[in-house]
Structures are given as structure tokens and as C-alpha cells.
Amino acid sequence: MRPTFLSLALLSAVTAVAAVAPGTSHRFGYSTFREDAGRLVVFVDGYPASVGGDEAYVPIPLAVALVKSGGSLTFTPESFTLIDRKGNSLPAAGFREVTEGHGRMEFERSLMRMRPIVVATWVTELPRIPSRFFPAPSSGTRIPRVHLAPQSWFRDVVYFPRPPAGLSGTLTLRVDVAGAAPVEVRFAASPDELAKR
């Protein structure tokens, strides 16, 4: 049986899709990406990292909403892992190493105030829980642990060491807390990647 033009075209399309690397999660804004999984909805903003140059630490703004019933969940910086395009996994940086070794925190906070992470309107209508994992030196007391009850949310920024493979390609932020299935948000955090997606 000879392959028809249609079957050859379908085979080519399937082969092309299989060869493409996994894309990002749902793009919710120019630089914000969203993933819904189980009880959690997670947003990640790649823009602040994209303007950071070659700094040793990378700021990743995020927002997490607990949207389904069940027990409360507790988040710390250790709840988050950054994975680069080559699969290198990086835990959050230590609070002291960032505050003592990263001189751009005030600038980055100013940037995030001018350009806050984009989240769904229905999320902003839920009670927002205070969170400050990495406060800049002049911006208040550190809150190292956040407890979310169902139907509440928080937003914050988590710092990571610069990934060995850099910020190009698709990055993944993994959120892993007791009481909920892990969530992986695939996002872009380089100027070129943000412009072309």
C-alpha cells in the first residue's frame, strides 16, 4: 500500500512536533506564565531575571493560590527549585548569601513595583497572605514561612543562583510542598526568548 500525500503530511507533522523541545506553560502576559495543578495555581514572571545581566543571583517573582479545599499548605524558599534547559536543578539561594552578596535588590524591588507580576483577577479577590522571603535591606522584616489556607494566595520573589546553562531556553520552576502535588511552571527568562514566544 502506497502512502498517500495526507498520510505523509501527517507523519511529517508528528515527527516535527516530537523533535521540538517542550514549550512553556500557559503564557498569561508578556513575561508571566501560569500552571494549574491539583490544588495550586502558580504564576511565574521571567522579566526581572531577563534584565539582570550576568549577576550571580536571579530573581524569580511568583504568585501561588491555593484554590481547592483541604488542609493549609506551608511554603518556604526551599519549596521552590529552578531547573535550567539542560536539567540542572538549583535550590533557592540562602537568605544571607543574597542579602550580603547581591547589590541589586533595591533596583529589582523597584522594577517589580513598577511592573508587578500579572495574575488572574479572581486570584486578587482572594485574601492575600503577607510574604517576604527575601526582603531588600530597607523593606521590612523577613517572613521565611507562609501558611496558605484554602482560597488564599501570596506573591513574592525567590532568588536562585544563576543556572549553569544560563537563562536561555525553557526554564522550569518546581513547587513542592507537603499536602499538594508538585507543580512545574515552564517559563522564559531571557530577552530573546520572551520576544519570540
* Residue 40 parent element (H or E): strand 40-45
Does any domain span residue 117?
A: yes
Provide the residue range defining the domain that includes 67: 23-196
131, with CB counted inside 10 A (0-12, 13-18, 19+), is buried
**Position of cell 482560597?**
151
Tell me what pLDDT residue 22 has. Answer: 57
Does any domain span residue 61?
A: yes
99, with CB counted inside 10 A (0-12, 13-18, 19+), is middle
Does any domain span residue 65?
A: yes
How many structural domains is the chain composed of? Answer: 1
Does any domain span residue 170?
A: yes
pLDDT at 8 over 50: no
Whether this prediction's pTM lies above 0.75 is answered by: yes
DSSP-derived letter for residue 79 is G
Phi-psi region of 53 (alpha: psi -120 to 50; beta: other; left: phi over 0): left
Does any domain span residue 125?
A: yes
Does any domain span residue 2?
A: no
Does any domain span residue 16?
A: no
Find the CATH number of the domain harbouring 136: 2.60.40
pLDDT in tens, 118-176: 999 999 999 999 999 998 777 778 999 999 999 999 999 999 999 999 999 999 999 99
Question: What's the pLDDT band for 39 if we cut at 50, 70, 90?
Answer: very high
Nearest residue to 75 (alpha-carbon basis) of 37, 32, 24, 130: 130
CA–CA gap between residue 60 and residue 49 (Å, rounded): 7
Residue 75 amino acid letter: F
Does any domain span residue 28?
A: yes
CA–CA gap between residue 29 and residue 7 (Å, rounded): 37
Cell numbers placing 53: 545581566
Nearest residue to 76 (alpha-carbon basis) of 191, 177, 5, 195: 177
pLDDT in tens, 47-90: 999 987 788 999 999 999 999 888 999 999 999 999 999 999 99
